[in-house]
Amino acid sequence: LNWVDKNGNTALICAASRGIPQIVELLLEFGADIDAQNHHGRTALMEAVLWGHLASVNYILDKGA
Protein backbone atom coordinates (compact mmCIF):
# COMPACT_ATOMS: atom_id res chain seq x y z
CA LEU A 1 0.00 0.00 0.00
CA ASN A 2 2.85 2.38 0.63
CA TRP A 3 4.92 1.67 -2.49
CA VAL A 4 6.44 4.86 -3.91
CA ASP A 5 7.30 5.87 -7.45
CA LYS A 6 10.44 7.77 -8.51
CA ASN A 7 8.86 11.03 -7.27
CA GLY A 8 7.93 9.60 -3.89
CA ASN A 9 4.23 9.34 -4.71
CA THR A 10 2.33 6.57 -2.95
CA ALA A 11 -0.74 4.94 -4.48
CA LEU A 12 -2.83 7.15 -2.20
CA ILE A 13 -1.13 10.32 -3.41
CA CYS A 14 -1.61 9.22 -7.03
CA ALA A 15 -5.31 8.47 -6.52
CA ALA A 16 -5.89 11.76 -4.69
CA SER A 17 -4.06 13.83 -7.30
CA ARG A 18 -6.06 12.23 -10.11
CA GLY A 19 -9.42 12.62 -8.39
CA ILE A 20 -10.36 8.98 -7.89
CA PRO A 21 -12.19 9.08 -4.53
CA GLN A 22 -13.23 5.42 -4.67
CA ILE A 23 -9.57 4.37 -4.74
CA VAL A 24 -8.67 6.94 -2.06
CA GLU A 25 -11.35 5.40 0.17
CA LEU A 26 -10.23 1.84 -0.52
CA LEU A 27 -6.55 2.58 0.10
CA LEU A 28 -7.30 4.32 3.39
CA GLU A 29 -9.56 1.47 4.52
CA PHE A 30 -6.67 -0.93 3.95
CA GLY A 31 -4.17 1.15 5.89
CA ALA A 32 -2.42 3.46 3.44
CA ASP A 33 -0.36 6.12 5.22
CA ILE A 34 -2.50 9.26 5.18
CA ASP A 35 0.50 11.42 6.17
CA ALA A 36 3.02 10.13 3.60
CA GLN A 37 4.76 12.88 1.63
CA ASN A 38 6.20 12.80 -1.86
CA HIS A 39 9.57 14.33 -2.78
CA HIS A 40 7.89 17.75 -3.03
CA GLY A 41 6.70 17.45 0.57
CA ARG A 42 3.06 17.09 -0.44
CA THR A 43 0.59 14.65 1.11
CA ALA A 44 -2.45 13.09 -0.57
CA LEU A 45 -4.59 15.85 0.93
CA MET A 46 -2.34 18.56 -0.45
CA GLU A 47 -2.36 16.99 -3.92
CA ALA A 48 -6.16 16.65 -3.90
CA VAL A 49 -6.49 20.32 -2.91
CA LEU A 50 -3.93 21.40 -5.51
CA TRP A 51 -5.86 19.73 -8.32
CA GLY A 52 -9.33 20.64 -7.04
CA HIS A 53 -10.61 17.14 -6.32
CA LEU A 54 -13.11 18.02 -3.60
CA ALA A 55 -14.56 14.54 -3.09
CA SER A 56 -11.08 13.22 -2.30
CA VAL A 57 -10.32 16.26 -0.12
CA ASN A 58 -13.47 15.74 1.94
CA TYR A 59 -12.89 12.02 2.39
CA ILE A 60 -9.26 12.47 3.44
CA LEU A 61 -10.28 15.18 5.92
CA ASP A 62 -13.01 12.91 7.32
CA LYS A 63 -10.31 10.29 7.95
CA GLY A 64 -8.27 12.65 10.08
CA ALA A 65 -5.69 14.30 7.86
The pLDDT score that the predictor gives to residue 1 is: 79
Any residues with CB less than 8 A from the CB of 30 and at least 6 apart, and which?
Answer: 1
Q: Beta partners for 10?
A: 4
Ordered domains of the chain (ranges, CATH) = 11-62 (1.25.40.20)
**At 10, is the secondary structure helix, strand, or coil?**
strand
The pLDDT score that the predictor gives to residue 28 is: 97
Residues across the chain: 65
CA angle 37, 53, 46 (to 5 degrees): 25
Tens-digit pLDDT profile for the chain (65 aa)? Answer: 779 999 999 999 999 999 999 999 999 999 999 999 999 999 999 999 999 999 999 999 999 98
pTM over 0.85: yes
